């Protein structure tokens, strides 16, 4: 991959040789669009060089020279580190708009005003996650950290990835007293009809059995969840649920499954992943792994929810790094 400056030099060289725009475009293997080549040549005619006042697109807020240098120095001191920890050290967080932060703070204040601590322990948090037969790894977290390509080749293995791996979706719910049976959906995507038919009854049966008559159901703002028929089903069957008008968008840091349980689940599946060779064995392994999630991890992640609400409120809706 050529650097931006190298591309400029190639375009100028071909321009000075008198080559046409179309030939330059083809010789560059369509790396640049014709409009860009035309614009650069016009700049060269007017000023004798290509002067870009700013990089195209949105301004960089994270991928800056300063941040890159910080990462390099950090890796030289410690070679093994997770993306989340490294991002926390460098104060890098998901981008939230003022509207997002406002909704997050509003929800935190609403939840703190409407749920006592003991009532939050009777909330069933829920989420879905995709798994495929290539194994559990995160493109955002399972990386080889290195200063350059040569250093990367010395450090880590290459992770093979099929072009179209077989995959399934897992739905799971957790509360302070444990987790629901997993719901595995292995055909197509989940729409509101399948969600109502296959998922919600599992949540209802589990919590009526484990938590009794007074409990609250939580779900995020995925399309099947906010559909009016889904909302109506929840209203008719659950004693209480957090509706689509309250749960804030872009808030994985407020769901115990996202900030804790899925990691626990993924580590459990990695232990036996050599047995996964087909969709059937994938489903068997997922069913086995969900039973190994430690109860103390579930309890602690649910118990910390009120503290997270407090922190979101005090930071005016900012994202929680830890």
Instruction: Name the band, by pLDDT with cuts 50, 70 and 90, for residue 174.
Output: very high
Encoded tokens for 139: 């493109």
Regarding whether 133 and 32 lie in a shared domain, the answer is: no
Regarding whether 279 and 228 lie in a shared domain, the answer is: yes
Contact at 8 Å (CB) between 134 and 150? Answer: no
Contact at 8 Å (CB) between 260 and 267? Answer: no
- The pLDDT of residue 100 is above 60: yes
- % pLDDT > 70, the chain: 70
- The pLDDT of residue 109 is above 60: yes
Regarding whether 102 and 87 lie in a shared domain, the answer is: no
Instruction: Name the band, by pLDDT with cuts 50, 70 and 90, for residue 242.
Output: very high
Give the pTM. 0.67
Q: Across residues 36-56, what is the average pLDDT?
A: 70
Instruction: Name the band, by pLDDT with cuts 50, 70 and 90, for residue 36.
Output: confident
Regarding whether 125 and 77 lie in a shared domain, the answer is: no
User: Residue 124: which H helix or E strand, with range?
Assistant: strand 123-132
Regarding whether 279 and 223 lie in a shared domain, the answer is: yes
**pLDDT value of residue 1:** 44
Q: Give the least confident one: 133-137, 171-175, 180-184, 240-244.
A: 133-137
Q: How far apart are the first and last CA of the chain?
A: 36
Whether 59 is covered by a domain: the verdict is: no
Regarding whether 108 and 78 lie in a shared domain, the answer is: no
Instruction: Name the band, by pLDDT with cuts 50, 70 and 90, for residue 140.
Output: very low
The total number of structural domains in the chain stands at 3
Q: Give the least confident one: 18-27, 251-260, 283-292.
A: 18-27
Regarding whether 289 and 215 lie in a shared domain, the answer is: yes
Q: Across residues 95-114, what is the average pLDDT?
A: 94
Residue that wins the pLDDT comparison between 253 and 133? 253
Report the candidate in 201, 187, 193, 185 with the shortest Cα–Cα distance to residue 227. Answer: 193
Question: What is the distance between the alpha carbons of residues 300 and 306, in angstroms, rounded to a whole number?
Answer: 11
**pLDDT value of residue 315:** 94
Domain residues for the domain of 88 are 64-92
For the chain, the average pLDDT equals 81
Query: How do residues 194-221 score in pLDDT, each as one tens digit?
Result: 999 999 999 999 989 999 888 999 999 9
Whether 52 is covered by a domain: the verdict is: no
Question: What is the distance between the alpha carbons of residues 239 and 211, in angstroms, rounded to a whole number?
Answer: 11
**pLDDT value of residue 138:** 46
Instruction: Name the phi and psi angles at 46, rounded to 5.
Output: -80, -35
Question: What is the distance between the alpha carbons of residues 106 and 248, in angstroms, rounded to a whole number?
Answer: 8
- The pLDDT of residue 121 is above 50: yes
- Top-confidence range, 3-12, 59-68, 312-321: 312-321
Residue that wins the pLDDT comparison between 159 and 34? 34
Regarding whether 71 and 211 lie in a shared domain, the answer is: no
**pLDDT value of residue 141:** 47
Q: Across residues 107-112, what is the average pLDDT?
A: 97
């Amino acid at each position: 991959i050529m650097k931006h400056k190298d591309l400029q030099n190639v375009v100028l060289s071909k321009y000075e040789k008198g080559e046409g725009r179309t030939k330059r475009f083809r010789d560059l293997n369509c790396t640049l669009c014709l409009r860009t080549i035309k614009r650069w040549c016009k700049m060269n005619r007017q000023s004798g060089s290509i002067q870009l006042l700013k990089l195209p697109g949105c301004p960089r807020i994270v991928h800056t020279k300063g941040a890159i240098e910080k990462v390099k120095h950090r890796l030289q001191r410690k070679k093994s580190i997770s993306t989340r920890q490294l991002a926390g050290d460098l104060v890098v967080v998901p981008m939230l708009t003022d509207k997002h932060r406002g909704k997050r703070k509003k929800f935190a204040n609403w939840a703190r005003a409407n749920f006592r601590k003991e009532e939050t322990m009777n909330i069933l948090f829920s989420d879905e996650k995709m798994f495929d037969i290539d194994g559990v790894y995160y493109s955002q977290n399972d990386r080889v950290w290195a200063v350059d390509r040569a250093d990367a080749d010395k450090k880590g293995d290459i992770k093979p990835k099929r072009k179209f791996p077989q995959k399934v979706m897992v739905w799971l719910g957790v509360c302070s007293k444990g987790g629901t049976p997993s719901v595995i959906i292995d055909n197509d995507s989940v729409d509101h009809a399948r969600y109502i038919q296959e998922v919600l009854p599992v949540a209802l049966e589990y919590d009526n059995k484990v938590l009794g008559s007074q409990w609250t159901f939580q779900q995020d703002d995925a399309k099947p969840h906010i559909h009016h028929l889904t909302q109506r089903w929840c209203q008719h069957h659950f004693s209480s649920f957090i509706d689509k008008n309250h749960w804030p968008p872009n808030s994985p840091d407020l769901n115990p499954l996202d900030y804790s349980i899925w990691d626990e689940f993924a580590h459990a599946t990695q232990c036996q992943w050599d047995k996964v060779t087909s969709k059937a064995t994938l489903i068997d392994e997922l069913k086995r792994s969900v039973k190994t999630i430690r109860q103390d991890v579930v309890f602690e992640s649910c118990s910390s929810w009120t503290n997270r609400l407090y922190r979101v409120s005090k930071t005016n809706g900012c994202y929680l790094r830890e």
